[in-house]
Amino acid sequence: MKKTLVVANWKMNPTTLRVAKTIFSDTKKSLSKLNGVEVVICPPSVYLSELKRLSSGNKISFGAQNCFNQEKGPWTGEISPVMLMTSGAKFIILGHSENRRGGDNDEIVNQKIKLALKSGLDVILCVGEKERDEDGHYFRFLKKQILDDLEGIGKNYLKNILIAYEPLWAIGVGAEKVITDKQLQEVTIFIKKVLVDKYNVKDFKDVRILYGGSVSYKIIDDLAETDVDGFLVGRDSLSQEKFSKLLKVIGSK
**Residue 43 to residue 66: CA distance in whole angstroms:** 11
Cβ burial of 32 (10 Å; 0-12, 13-18, 19+) is: exposed
**Residue 108 to residue 156: CA distance in whole angstroms:** 21
Task: Please report how close the Cβ of residue 122 comes to ligand PEP at its closest, in angstroms.
Answer: 17
Query: Nearest CA to 217 among 178, 253, 244, 179?
Result: 244
**Residue 238 to residue 87: CA distance in whole angstroms:** 21
For ligand PEP, the closer of residues 201 and 219 by Cβ is 219
Task: Please report how close the Cβ of residue 72 comes to ligand PEP at its closest, in angstroms.
Answer: 28
**Residue 226 to residue 216: CA distance in whole angstroms:** 15
Three-class SS state of 108? helix
Give residue number: closest CB to ligand PEP: 234
Integer distance in angstroms from the first to the last C-alpha of the chain? 11
For ligand PEP, the closer of residues 175 and 201 by Cβ is 175
For ligand PEP, the closer of residues 14 and 172 by Cβ is 172
Active site residues: 96, 166
For ligand PEP, the closer of residues 88 and 212 by Cβ is 212
Q: Please enumerate in sequence order all residues whose Cβ is within 8 A of that of 88, keeping only pairs 6 or more positions apart, or say none.
A: 48, 49, 51, 52, 62
For ligand PEP, the closer of residues 100 and 114 by Cβ is 100
Task: Please report how close the Cβ of residue 24 comes to ligand PEP at its closest, in angstroms.
Answer: 18
**Residue 215 to residue 232: CA distance in whole angstroms:** 8
Task: Please report how close the Cβ of residue 241 comes to ligand PEP at its closest, in angstroms.
Answer: 15
**Residue 14 to residue 77: CA distance in whole angstroms:** 20
The residues binding ligand PEP (CB under 6 A) are 9, 166, 171-172, 212-215, 232-235
Task: Please report how close the Cβ of residue 10 comes to ligand PEP at its closest, in angstroms.
Answer: 10
